[in-house]
């Protein structure tokens, strides 16, 4: 859960933040507004019956994905779980393709085959979007393995929730990452609840979840995620550790989700109080905090901030129109994207039978 | 021609592919310094070193998942499961990640990874170590599944598996590792190498009266049964070795059945939804008018693997069972 930032200015002075241009800061404000507006519009049309399946919203956590994505260089990669819209937009995926994927349309980022939990953009070093809790952490470890094997200076940021820290695959990933000295950064986005079960009711831990890294002789840190400056300062340290020493880090970022585990989580105001949610929205909202910084610094006026937010809202509405008016995939596409060799019509793809309906 | 053991043939395939493509890397428990639990990778660490031949901890979900992640970036990992039976602890990584990430990404990602190791019963190691999951793996679209019955095929198919751009589940046999077959030197081959495409079955013995359709070790059971049936009963069996379960060479199966008019599908799966179930259904659908008898199936006896050596022997298909089944069809 988010704690009150005690010394925000210290993080603004960190070299990675002190060197930011006004444009970069405004870009980040734009990013977090776009993530929130995208999801608010998605929620509106989910409730209107335009989408199937689940919708796990990231609202309240935007500073984490946006802050991390803003640090990514050419060989830095990102992978996350099913609460993946924020990371997708933060790395530069378009609202249209993301919204259309929710609508199950042909124009979706996964051509309607993945849905909300399965966004991917390898061209932007974004590897999903994974549905099974913790299952993406070995993949993130593998991305780091691949970077090291190829001799590239980069890192893989593997995000997970606080509910994923008790999965075996995550612990196996921690061990492999430390053992093989892989440039991976595991980032626990701790929003306090694994679905409806609070951290205290689901995990045994010493001072915090990240301290489990001690058992794997891995560097770790816990920090507050509501302030982008703090996110960037802390994550940059881990990135440098990955780039310069090829060593992993386990980070735990205190954050908060305003909505339920998914939209289908009807109980989310029962396992926590209304007052708790309102307190975060009022005192810890990452968009308000970032805007506050930029206005105080004279980078942005309140009026400009409002314009940016309104533009994000309009962009999200336009994305919904785009998604709504896009065609559904053709049933013939069911057999596409199963086998690389078949899709590419190679000899191997045409030898033997690959599909067995009749 | 020189004779080579099944394990040695596999090792040659690895060695040649390691030399051909710097992205090929071998990983698994005990594959490097220990030279492989079944000595399949013997000598490769000494030759190729730490970068290409990597010992992993006993951590299947972790290291298989790591291999899948690396393959998304273009590495070509060849991952050893000490026993294929351990697939259960890496299930999510194998099925959901290797098998489905291409589909769920709308074709943006592919996983050129090989998962390999022995998948057989018959060695008195109990039910947990005796799984034959080729039917299970082949039931997932996105997966490919290969089960070589001899050293020659093992080498040629492994080279195809490593070069394939989709995940390939490659199932070997501890019973066959030490057995030898003729395997030509590359210099004796017209293409300069032994390469067998996936999805091409092989008629291991020609015959006219009944088709024995099989894969993996059961092919050898069928060949022995065919010898007995020919010599003692005058029945001519054609033995079709599927070699690859998915993609599947149905045409070779159908051609054989259209010639012999009788089919027995033999494998070491448990009978419920075995590979033989799929083959029998396809034959019934496509060769119905050619059949002189119902398609028969032989699998292992339908209980978890028995430990006691003499009993386990009876649980798996053996030549006399095939002989009896064939005799009952005439």
pLDDT digits (tens, 9 = 90+) for A230-285: 999 999 999 999 999 999 999 999 999 998 888 888 777 788 888 988 999 999 99
- CATH class of the domain whose range is B202-327: alpha beta
Does the distance separating the beta carbons of A120 and B61 come in below 8 Å? no
pLDDT digits (tens, 9 = 90+) for A311-330: 999 999 999 999 999 999 99
**pLDDT exceeds cutoff 80 at B117:** yes
Does the distance separating the beta carbons of A340 and B165 come in below 8 Å? yes
Does the distance separating the beta carbons of A149 and B248 come in below 8 Å? no
Does the distance separating the beta carbons of A169 and B102 come in below 8 Å? no
Is residue B134 flagged as an active site residue?
no
- Where do the structural domains in chain B lie, given as residue ranges? 3-188, 202-327
**pLDDT exceeds cutoff 70 at A4:** no
CB B299 within 8 A of CB B317: yes
Q: What percent of chain B has pLDDT over 90?
A: 100
Select from A111, A127, A346 the Cβ nearest to the Cβ of B106.
A111
**pLDDT exceeds cutoff 60 at A174:** yes
Does the distance separating the beta carbons of B65 and A137 come in below 8 Å? yes
Range of lowest pLDDT (A194-198, B56-60, B91-95): A194-198
Mean pLDDT of B177-183: 98
pLDDT, position A260: 87
Is residue B131 flagged as an active site residue?
no
Does the distance separating the beta carbons of A129 and B104 come in below 8 Å? yes
pLDDT, position A28: 98
| Contacts of A204-212 spanning 24+ positions with Cβ under 8 A | A208/A252, A209/A162, A209/A165, A209/A252, A210/A250, A210/A251, A210/A252, A212/A165, A212/A174, A212/A250
Contacts of A132 in chain B (CB under 8 A): 92, 96
Select from A79, A140, A337 the Cβ nearest to the Cβ of B102.
A337
**pLDDT exceeds cutoff 50 at A5:** no
pLDDT, position B232: 98
Contacts of B55 in chain A (CB under 8 A): none
pLDDT-derived band at A9 (thresholds 50, 70, 90) equals low
- Do B3-188 and B202-327 share a fold? yes
- CATH class of the domain whose range is B3-188: alpha beta
Degrees to nearest 5, angle at CA A261 with A258 and A266: 90
Which tokens hold the place of B146? 């290969």
Q: Output phi, psi for B43, to 5 deg.
A: 85, -15
Q: Give B150→chain A minimum CA distance, Å.
A: 20
Contacts of A179 in chain B (CB under 8 A): 57
Contacts of A341 in chain B (CB under 8 A): 164-166
**pLDDT exceeds cutoff 70 at A2:** no
**pLDDT exceeds cutoff 70 at A136:** yes
DSSP letter for B303, please. Answer: S
pLDDT, position A265: 81
pLDDT averaged over every residue in chain A: 95
**pLDDT exceeds cutoff 90 at B4:** yes
DSSP tally for chain B: helices H, then strands E: 12, 14
> How far apart are alpha carbons B127 and B121 in whole angstroms?
8
Question: Which one of B60, B76, B105, B248 makes the best mutation probe of the A interface by having the most chain A beta carbons within 10 Å?
Answer: B105
Q: Phi-psi category of B182—alpha, beta or left, where left has phi over 0 and alpha has psi -120 to 50?
A: beta
Domains of chain A in start order, with CATH, are 9-345 (3.40.50.970)
- Write the DSSP string, B38-76: TSTTTTHHHHH-TTTEEE--S-HHHHHHHHHHHHHTT-E
pLDDT, position A291: 98
pLDDT averaged over every residue in chain B: 98
């Amino acid at each position: 859960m988010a704690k009150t930032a005690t010394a925000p200015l210290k993080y603004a002075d960190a070299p990675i933040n002190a060197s930011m241009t006004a444009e970069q800061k405004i870009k980040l404000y734009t990013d977090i507004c776009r993530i929130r507006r995208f999801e608010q519009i998605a929620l509106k049309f989910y409730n209107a019956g335009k989408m199937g399946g689940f919708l796990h919203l990231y609202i309240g956590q935007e500073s984490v994905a946006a802050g991390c994505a803003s640090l990514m260089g050419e060989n830095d990669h990102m992978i996350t779980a099913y609460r993946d819209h924020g990371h997708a937009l933060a790395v530069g995926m378009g609202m249209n393709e993301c919204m259309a994927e929710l609508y199950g349309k042909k124009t979706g980022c996964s051509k309607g085959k993945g849905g909300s939990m399965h966004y991917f953009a390898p061209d932007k070093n974004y590897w999903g979007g994974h549905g099974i809790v913790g299952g993406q952490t070995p993949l993130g470890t593998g991305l780091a393995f691949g970077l090291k094997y190829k001799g590239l200076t980069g890192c893989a940021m593997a995000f997970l929730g606080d509910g994923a820290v008790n999965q075996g695959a995550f612990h196996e990933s921690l061990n492999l990452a430390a053992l093989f000295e892989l440039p991976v950064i595991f980032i626990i986005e701790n929003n306090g609840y694994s679905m409806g079960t609070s951290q205290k009711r689901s995990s045994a831990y010493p001072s915090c979840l990240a301290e489990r890294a001690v058992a794997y002789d891995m560097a770790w840190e816990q920090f507050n995620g509501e302030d982008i400056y703090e996110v960037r300062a802390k994550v940059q340290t881990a990135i440098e550790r990955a780039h310069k020493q090829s060593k992993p880090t386990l980070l735990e970022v205190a954050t908060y989700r305003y909505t339920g585990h998914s939209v289908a989580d009807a109980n989310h105001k029962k396992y926590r109080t209304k007052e708790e949610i309102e307190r975060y929205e009022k005192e810890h909202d990452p968009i308000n905090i970032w805007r506050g910084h930029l206005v105080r610094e004279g980078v942005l006026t309140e009026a400009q901030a409002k314009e940016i937010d309104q533009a994000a809202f309009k962009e999200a509405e336009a994305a919904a129109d785009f998604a709504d008016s896009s065609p559904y995939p053709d049933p013939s596409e069911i057999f596409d994207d199963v086998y690389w060799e078949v899709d590419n019509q190679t000899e191997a793809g045409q030898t033997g039978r690959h599909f067995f309906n009749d | 021609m020189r004779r080579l053991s099944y394990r040695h043939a596999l090792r040659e395939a690895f060695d040649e592919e390691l030399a051909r493509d710097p992205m090929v890397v071998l990983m698994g428990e005990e594959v490097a310094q220990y030279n492989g639990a079944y000595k399949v990778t013997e000598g490769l660490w000494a030759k190729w070193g730490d970068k290409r031949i990597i010992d992993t901890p006993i951590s299947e979900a972790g290291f298989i998942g790591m291999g899948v992640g690396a393959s998304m970036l273009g590495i070509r990992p060849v991952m050893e499961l000490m026993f294929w039976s351990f697939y259960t602890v890496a299930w999510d990584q194998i099925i959901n990640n290797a098998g489905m990430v291409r589909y769920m990404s709308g074709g943006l990602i592919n996983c050129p990874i090989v998962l390999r190791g022995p998948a057989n019963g018959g060695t008195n190691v109990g039910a947990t170590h005796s799984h034959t999951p080729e039917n299970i793996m082949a039931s997932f679209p996105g997966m490919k599944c290969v089960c070589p019955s001899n050293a020659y095929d093992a080498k040629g198919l492994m080279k195809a598996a490593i070069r394939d751009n989709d995940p390939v589940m490659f199932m070997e046999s501890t019973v066959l590792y030490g057995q030898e077959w003729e395997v030509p030197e590359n210099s004796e081959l017209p293409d300069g190498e032994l390469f067998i495409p996936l999805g091409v079955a092989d008629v291991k013995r020609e015959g006219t009266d009944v088709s024995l359709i099989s894969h993996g070790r059961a092919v050898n059971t069928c060949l022995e049964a065919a010898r007995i049936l020919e010599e003692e009963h005058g029945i001519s069996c054609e033995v079709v070795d599927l070699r690859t379960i998915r993609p599947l060479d149905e045409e070779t199966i159908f051609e054989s059945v259209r010639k012999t008019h009788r089919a027995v599908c033999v494998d070491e799966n448990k009978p419920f939804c075995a590979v033989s179930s799929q083959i029998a259904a396809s034959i019934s659908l496509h060769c119905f008018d050619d059949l002189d008898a119902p398609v028969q199936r032989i699998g292992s006896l339908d209980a978890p693997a028995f430990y006691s050596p003499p009993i386990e022997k009876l649980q798996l298909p053996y030549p006399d069972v095939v002989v009896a089944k064939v005799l009952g069809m005439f």
